[in-house]
Amino acid sequence: MLARLERGEDAAYEQLVRAHAGRMLAVATRFLGSREEARDAVQDAFLGAFRNMASFRGGARLGTWLHRITVNAALMRLRARSRRPEESIEDLLPHFDDTGHSTRPPREWEGEALKLLQKRETRAVVRRCIERLPISYRVVLLLRDIEELDTEETARLTGLSPGAVKVRLHRARLALRTLLAEQFEVRG
């Protein structure tokens, strides 16, 4: 495939795009929220890939390389968005009194996670909760927990220090837990 791409074969390029664009669209949509913006990010990603195809030496798999380019393209679009003040994550974090005890002790969730996951609707609920996280926290959570990048790579992509990435990831997970508890806690 690489040789055919290097020769500029149109059919090879079409094969490449058809093989990867769908998955790249899924990745871009997670970060951007908007399907339309995600399409633009995927176009940006392929444009960058076409320009740099000569420098791709097959050190990583082509799909992995394209995946990384897509994440970068999505993050660039996020940075280019208008600088609205981000909503605070504080309300989504657990609160404690002066003695260090929780002001709202957690309640049980309906069913175990694995059973909950069997319902397609549950996965949609979880995705909507992730989308409710403030954007800078959502990006770190997606990069670390979903894209499975390590702390250093995440720091490089976000411009945060590795320490800040760890703090932000932990707060994002705590906030997500709060949002999921609203959905899954046993009532009464």
Cβ-based nearer residue to another protein, 46 or 82: 46
Q: 91: burial class by Cβ within 10 Å (0-12, 13-18, 19+)?
A: exposed
Closest approach of another protein to the CB of residue 54, in Å? 12
Facing residues of 102 across strands? 96
Closest approach of another protein to the CB of residue 126, in Å? 4
Cβ-based nearer residue to another protein, 43 or 82: 43
The residue with tokens 């899924």 is: 26
Q: Which of 37, 39, 27, 33 is nearest to 133 (CA)?
A: 33
Cβ-based nearer residue to another protein, 67 or 85: 67
Closest approach of another protein to the CB of residue 52, in Å? 11
Other beta carbons within 10 angstroms of residue 43's beta carbon come to 14
Output the CA torsion 118→119→121→125 (10° steps).
-50
Closest approach of another protein to the CB of residue 76, in Å? 17
Cβ-based nearer residue to another protein, 105 or 159: 105
Residues that bind another protein (CB under 8 A): 10, 13-14, 17-18, 21-26, 29-30, 39, 42-43, 46-47, 50-51, 94, 96, 99-102, 105-109, 112-114, 116-117, 120, 122-123, 126-127, 130, 141, 145-146, 166, 169-170, 173-174, 176-177, 180-181
Cβ-based nearer residue to another protein, 19 or 82: 19
DSSP state of 58: S
Say how far apart CA 130 and CA 128 lie, in whole Å: 5
User: By the 8 A CB rule, do 86 and 79 touch?
Assistant: no
Sign for the CA dihedral angle at 26, 27, 30, 31 comes to: negative
Closest approach of another protein to the CB of residue 82, in Å? 25
